[in-house]
């Protein structure tokens, strides 16, 4: 029967350098791997100062760390990286794990070391390459439990040091704006599961100034298994400031449009009040460009051909009464004001750039339906929604649902019939709005779905549909269209809150 090997024989077979130091830091034991790693015979180092061969630039740091461990400070273990001299006089990088006697019940400090020269030099080369970049390059293991690399710019952008991240790889989450943190953690899980991601979120460095960063990430896979996650963070604060400036300019323009339209509406109301059924005043019809029949014929209004027309322009019979014209002015002005308000909502949504968060769906859809019932009591509005559906979406999801329901109520030719039905799959929440409106033009549906480009001949004015689409898209979801025999079916698709990614 074969004799069981003793522990020392097994230790000599390992490829890692295993040694034991006394309290003074001198070698009391070295395994056989010492010869392969350093080139020294283990016996020649017994009783020598283990730190004498540490690189002069690293020696003070390593001695201090060992002294803290010997004095009982810390948790009884320490991991260190440093340069160490070989028997040939070369330098290699060691990554060592030191265990205090309280951790091993061995009389001395056990040090397990492995040669990480190739790894460290690769990182150093990468650091040299990225030293000119203002982006924060980073790499973690797949569980986000070990920092593999981060560029020095992490302190400029996040206000956190590399040393802090080495001790606690998830410490950067403490710098993420609280409202954005759930979405950041969600994207971290997606990366660990092997999916590419891009996210924009806010960080709060120590200086108190909130900054925006854009962070693309990629999983690193070997043999189909995610072994690391990598990416970069770019400070886009200036970009968001520019968006904010555009939003301010839009507000100014919208304010001007609203004031001017109010003047137009007021004038139309006064015209209507002054118009009587007994006496009707006639005015010229405006063409699509806003020109009157006289202007569109290129005449000065005094030249009329023998048929009573100005060239090929409209005849006197094309004139309409003041009351009808005033009502048209009022309707168009109301539509412009409504469009301006929706434009504001869209621009605020795109400029604000908020993060998805848990949204309880039932209160959202029931409140929207209640508001529409109050506005249009003659309409038929119904809702079907389980009580425990939670989506992971932008808070503006209620705007998107309200726009779809309002559009359905406003564009029907008869009494509006609108049904809102909420369902869910393993990964998504689906909010479906069915109506009895004429079919949404296919051009509008395809434009919103990014299948066609807008141009002068083919464009859309469905601001409410755009708002719903962008809310869904920025929630990592989608907007789907379908038609039924007597109406449309529009579905907002957003992730479930309890889906890991």
Collapsing DSSP to helix, strand or coil, 298 comes out as coil
**Tell me, what's the pLDDT at 454?**
44
CA 126: distance to chain centroid? 27
For the beta sheet containing 17-21, the strands, ordered from the edge strand earlier in sequence to the opposite edge, are: 27-30, 17-21, 109-115, 91-99, 77-85
End-to-end CA distance of the chain: 55
Q: Which residues pair with 29 in a beta bridge?
A: 20
Phi, psi angles (nearest 5°) of residue 110? -80, 130
pLDDT tens for the 501 residues of the chain, in order: 444 455 555 555 566 889 999 999 999 999 999 999 999 999 999 999 999 999 999 999 999 999 999 998 888 899 999 999 999 999 999 999 999 999 988 999 999 999 999 988 887 887 677 777 889 999 999 999 999 989 889 999 999 999 999 999 999 999 999 999 999 999 999 999 999 999 999 998 876 678 899 999 999 999 899 999 999 999 998 887 777 656 655 665 566 667 777 777 777 777 777 764 445 444 444 444 444 444 444 444 444 443 334 444 444 334 446 777 777 777 777 777 776 666 666 666 656 656 788 999 999 999 999 999 999 999 999 999 998 999 999 988 998 999 899 888 988 889 999 999 999 999 999 999 999 998 887 777 766 655 444 444 444 445 678 778 888 888 889 999 988 878 999 999 999 987 655
Q: Which residues contact residue 380 at a Cβ distance below 8 angstroms, ignoring those fewer than 6 apart?
A: 415, 416, 417, 418
Instruction: Tell me the CA distances in angstroms from 142 to 44, 160, 179, 195, 230, one per residue in order.
Output: 41, 21, 24, 12, 9
């Amino acid at each position: 029967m074969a004799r069981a090997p003793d522990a020392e024989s097994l230790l000599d077979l390992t490829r890692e350098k295993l040694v034991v130091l006394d309290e003074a830091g001198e070698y009391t034991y070295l395994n056989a791997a010492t010869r392969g790693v350093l080139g020294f015979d283990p016996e020649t180092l017994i009783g020598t100062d283990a730190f004498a061969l540490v690189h002069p630039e690293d020696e003070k740091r390593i001695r201090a760390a060992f002294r803290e461990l010997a004095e009982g400070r810390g948790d009884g273990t320490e991991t260190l990286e440093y340069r160490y001299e070989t028997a040939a006089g070369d330098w290699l990088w060691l990554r060592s794990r030191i265990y205090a006697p309280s951790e091993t019940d061995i009389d001395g400090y056990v040090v397990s070391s492995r040669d990480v020269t190739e790894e460290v030099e690769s990182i150093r080369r990468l650091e040299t390459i990225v030293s000119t970049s203002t982006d924060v390059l980073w790499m973690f293991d797949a569980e986000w439990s070990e920092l593999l690399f981060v560029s020095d710019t992490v302190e400029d952008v996040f206000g956190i040091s590399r040393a802090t991240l080495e001790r606690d790889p998830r410490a950067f989450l403490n710098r993420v704006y609280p409202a954005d943190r759930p979405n950041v953690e969600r994207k971290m899980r997606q990366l660990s599961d092997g999916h590419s991601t891009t996210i924009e979120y806010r960080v709060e460095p120590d200086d108190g100034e909130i900054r925006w960063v854009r962070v693309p990430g990629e999983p690193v896979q070997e043999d189909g298994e995610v072994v690391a996650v990598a990416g970069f963070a770019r400070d886009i604060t200036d970009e968001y400031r520019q968006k904010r400036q555009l939003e301010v300019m839009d507000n100014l323009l919208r304010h001007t449009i609203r004031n001017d339209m109010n003047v137009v509406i007021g004038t139309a109301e006064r015209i209507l009040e002054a118009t009587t059924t007994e006496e009707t005043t006639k005015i010229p019809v405006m063409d699509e460009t806003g020109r009157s029949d006289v202007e569109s014929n290129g005449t000065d209004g005094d030249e009329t051909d023998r048929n009573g027309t100005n060239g090929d322009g409209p005849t006197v019979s094309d004139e309409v009464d003041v009351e009808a014209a005033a009502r048209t002015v009022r309707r168009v002005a109301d539509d412009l004001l409504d469009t301006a308000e929706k434009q504001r909502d869209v621009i605020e949504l795109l400029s604000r750039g908020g993060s998805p968060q848990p949204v309880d769906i039932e209160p959202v859809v029931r409140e929207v339906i209640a508001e529409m019932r109050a506005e249009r009591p003659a309409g038929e509005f119904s809702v079907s929604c389980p009580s425990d559906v939670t989506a992971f979406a932008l808070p503006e999801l209620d705007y998107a649902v309200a726009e779809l329901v309002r559009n359905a109520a406003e564009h029907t030719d008869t009494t509006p019939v609108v049904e809102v039905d909420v369902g869910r799959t393993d990964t998504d929440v689906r909010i479906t709005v069915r109506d009895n409106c004429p079919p949404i033009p296919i051009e509008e549906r395809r434009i919103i779905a990014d299948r066609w480009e807008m141009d002068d001949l083919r464009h859309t004015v469905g601001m409410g549909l755009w708002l719903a689409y962008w809310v869904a898209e920025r929630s990592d979801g989608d907007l789907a269209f379908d038609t039924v025999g007597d109406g449309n079916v529009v579905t907002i698709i957003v992730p479930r809150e309890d889906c890991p990614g």
